[in-house]
Structure 1
Amino acid sequence: MITHTIPLDVATALWKLRGENGPYAYDDYETVHDEQVDTRRWVSVHRLIIRRTSDGTLWALPYELGLTEAQDCDLFVDDPVTVALVRAEQVTTTRYVTATQEPAAQVGRITDQVVMAYIAEHAESGIEDEFNEDGEWTTEEHRELKKRAFKWIGQHRGGGAL
């Protein structure tokens, strides 16, 4: 791990400048990103990513915040403050959010089983032998029944699009 130190007053000024409307610059550094990396019983552990403007390198500035109003903890552990060299890396993440509706692929979906059930009730002849190896209807009569089934099912679902 590559580290270097910055003066406590510079670290404190950068911490005060962090925020959502950055980047903010102070001395030879500018704020880039602020993140919480851990939580312990009495403190939350954060790191402020800063860029040294003279060479463009990124450094992680660790700090801690007390979790209660009466919690007494130092913002920084060291004086001067030790920062670690970091690099930006894009990472794909998966988030799980509460769904407000069914996925688009499922809304209004009519399966072949539903169509087959309709056709079985309305066809003059059986349909079990009327499919090719791809599961498609082989006769014009059954293809027409499938079209009518989609229309009928759509009308009985309130006329919604299929």
Structure 2
Amino acid sequence: MEIRFRPAGAQDVPALHWALTQLSQDLGDRHVAGEADLMRAGFGTDPAFGALLAEAGPPVAARTVGASLFSPVFSTVRGAAGVYVADLWVAADVRGQRLGQRLLAAVLQEAQSRWDARFLKLNVYDDSPDARRFYDRLGFKPAVSQTEMILDEAGCAALRGET
């Protein structure tokens, strides 16, 4: 089966949303972002992310079989731009065909073109051993001496003095 990778555009928001919904269901996550959120954040004048779609079948009847959502990062430690992969999804019926690896390579190529990205980073859920094995096989290494810290929406409001 031939699979094509391409950047998602505004017209692809329904397909992107569907793929990300599938990912949330696969992970047992709460899915909050809707099509309007994706359109606003990813396809306005100053996009907060890029996205790629993997499609199978003829172009006129293509089926989405993979998707990735990613954004730029910059590291002063590395002295370079990188890309953070927030979401990576591959349809269950095409897993085991190296599509995840090929999709990550396409993300890196797109990020190199956009931001001269020289590294790739992502997070893996602790309760997702299959995903962890996949990333280990690709050569990803856990960040040592680091803890991911998140300030939620209420915390951001408090930081701005809006409480």
**TM-score, structure 2 as length reference:** 0.28
**Structure with more helix by fraction:** 2
Highest RCO, 1 vs 2 (Cα 8 Å, sep ≥ 6):
2
Greater Rg by CA = 1
